[in-house]
Amino acid sequence: MDFIFDLIGRFHPLIVHLPIGFLLLGLMMLVFDRKDNKHQKIIRFAFLWGTFSTLAAIITGSVQYNREGYPWEDIQGHLILGLLTFVISFLMYLKLNNYGFFQKISYKFLGYCLVVILSITGHLGGNLTHGKDHLTEPLPDTIKEALGMEVPSRNLILLPDSHQKLPLYSGVIQPILDQKCVSCHNPKKTKGGLLMNNYKGLMEGGEGGPIILAPSFLESEILKRIHLPREEKKHMPPKAKTQLTKAEIKIIEKWVNFGAPEKKTVSELGLSPQLFTSFFPKDETGIYPDLKLKPLNISLMDSIKSTGLHVAPIYKTSPLLKISAINNHDFNDQNASILFNVSDYVVDLDLGQTQVTDSVFEILKKLKYLTVLKLNHTAITGNGINQLKDLKHLKQINLVYSGFKFDKLEKMYSFPALEQVFLFGTPTSYSTFEVPDQFQTIFQMGNYKLDEEIHQTL
């Protein structure tokens, strides 16, 4: 039958909004009716049900607290102010019903108290649900600084060429702790008596003792806490906070296992660069060239779209374009001439399932930054494809189920940047033509065969 109590507790987030609605309605009606006194019955109704729903919210909230293991220090303010809300709401109801002594209490006093307490109680409830900084987190750093609030350091960025020279603690571990832990463990707010804003504080530990144990470093409390399920009360960081990533956890583990050294560098500890790849700057251009071009004229962009082509930047702020004829299967060689107008901007071109022929290579050779080309399900045979040999950025060509012939394959051996050519379902893939060993990883025919022993097993 314990599940009944769990269900009762889970209704708290729903019920807690009822008193807010009833009490605010009652307060607004008091102001609206302050001269005529024509709506007292409605006002008494609002405060009666505001009082009862506040009591219901307190009961369900208490059950949720007991059943789901919230720390007392996190909910005490919310619960106490909830009780005060109940008391003041009940006093207001008694005054509205003209009970002797309570008539001496001022409507204004009770009303102002309710507004203040409801606001604070709701804010504390929001902290429990969304985290203690849920209102202030969206503020710009400049405003936070002006208000005297702590501004956390931003995402850790390491450089592939220089990260090995950094001390592991000061260059990597402490910045991670600054982002994820220091907001609760700093000189102004030492939760659990633990400071995590410097090396000394980490080594001294908190009220429960050291969090890094020597010599049994793998038994350290810091590792136990970060590996607990997020729902566990002692999991760190708290579930309402931004969590450590898998890469961050792995690096902290390595550091603690090495004895939590303060001065040793990444290279001295012999750590693999692969541990740090998630902290390296992200290359938004991906396989495409990194070019600094002026934004394309909007009217020119519209003229291309008017032909039925889909046009989009490779990422939000890039001038480089992906162009696709996915919605225009009638697109042909003559239509392709419009690409001359954006020849410096096209890096990804999809002409698959269109009417283009080998004549289109006369136009494609002008797209000097073309990186990805899709000609799948077309009549392309490869005649004239050698015209693309001067495209220094062309890395991928999709010719799946096209008419591409095996005798044209050699013409692509000299393409300077070519990494992958997909030829499934073409005459080339069905031929006995042998691709030289050095090119076999580039030209994908799709004729995969299972190892004989595996085949027999299956």
What DSSP string runs through 152-202?
A: --------TTTGGGSBHIIIIIHHHHHHHTTTTEETTEEGGG---SSHHHH
**Mean pLDDT in residue range 58-78:** 77
156 Cβ neighbours under 8 A, 6+ residues apart:
172, 175, 176, 179, 279
Q: From CA 386, how far away is CA 392, in angstroms rounded?
A: 13
Q: From CA 266, how far away is CA 255, in angstroms rounded?
A: 10
| Tokens describing residue 352 | 């698959």
Which tens digits make up the pLDDT trace of 323-353?
999 889 999 999 999 999 899 999 999 999 9
Which tens digits make up the pLDDT trace of 307-323?
889 998 888 778 899 99
pLDDT value of residue 38: 80
E strand or H helix at 128: helix 107-130
Which tens digits make up the pLDDT trace of 150-173?
555 456 888 888 899 999 999 999
Name beta bridge partners: 422: 398, 444
pTM: 0.43
Q: From CA 141, how far away is CA 151, in angstroms rounded?
A: 6
pLDDT value of residue 16: 83
pLDDT value of residue 68: 63
**Mean pLDDT in residue range 211-237:** 88
Residue 1: pLDDT over 70: no
Of 260, 156, 183, the C-alpha closest to 218 is 260
pLDDT value of residue 82: 86
**Mean pLDDT in residue range 90-107:** 80
Q: Which of 15-19, 269-273, 378-382 has the lowest mean pLDDT?
A: 15-19
**Mean pLDDT of all residues belonging to the chain:** 84
Q: From CA 271, how far away is CA 335, in angstroms rounded?
A: 55
Amino acid at 424: F
**Mean pLDDT in residue range 124-141:** 66
Q: From CA 47, how far away is CA 61, in angstroms rounded?
A: 20
The three-state secondary structure class of 89 is: helix
Options 3.80.10.10, 3.30.70.940, 3.40.50.620, 3.90.1070.10; which CATH number does 298-453 get? 3.80.10.10
Q: From CA 226, how far away is CA 244, in angstroms rounded?
A: 8
Q: What is the largest CA-CA distance in the chain?
A: 105
Amino acid at 409: L
The three-state secondary structure class of 312 is: strand
Residue 449 binned pLDDT confidence (cut-offs 50, 70, 90): very low
Label residue 44 exposed, middle or buried (CB < 10 Å: 0-12, 13-18, 19+).
Answer: middle
Residue 34: pLDDT over 80: no
- The CA angle 114-117-119, to the nearest 5 degrees, is 105
Which tens digits make up the pLDDT trace of 414-429?
999 999 999 999 998 8
E strand or H helix at 346: strand 346-350
179 alpha-carbon distance from chain centroid: 15
390 Cβ neighbours under 8 A, 6+ residues apart:
365, 368
Q: Note whether 351 and 329 are within 8 A (CB).
A: no
**Would you state the torsion angle of the CA atoms of residues 381, 386, 387, 390, taken in this order, to the nearest 10 degrees?**
140
Question: What does the domain layout of the chain look like in residue ranges?
Answer: 2-130, 163-279, 298-453
Residue 457 binned pLDDT confidence (cut-offs 50, 70, 90): very low
Q: Which letter, b or e, does each residue of 205-233 get, where b requires 16 or more Cβ atoms within 10 Å of its Cβ?
A: bbeeeebbbeeebeebbbbeebeeeeeee
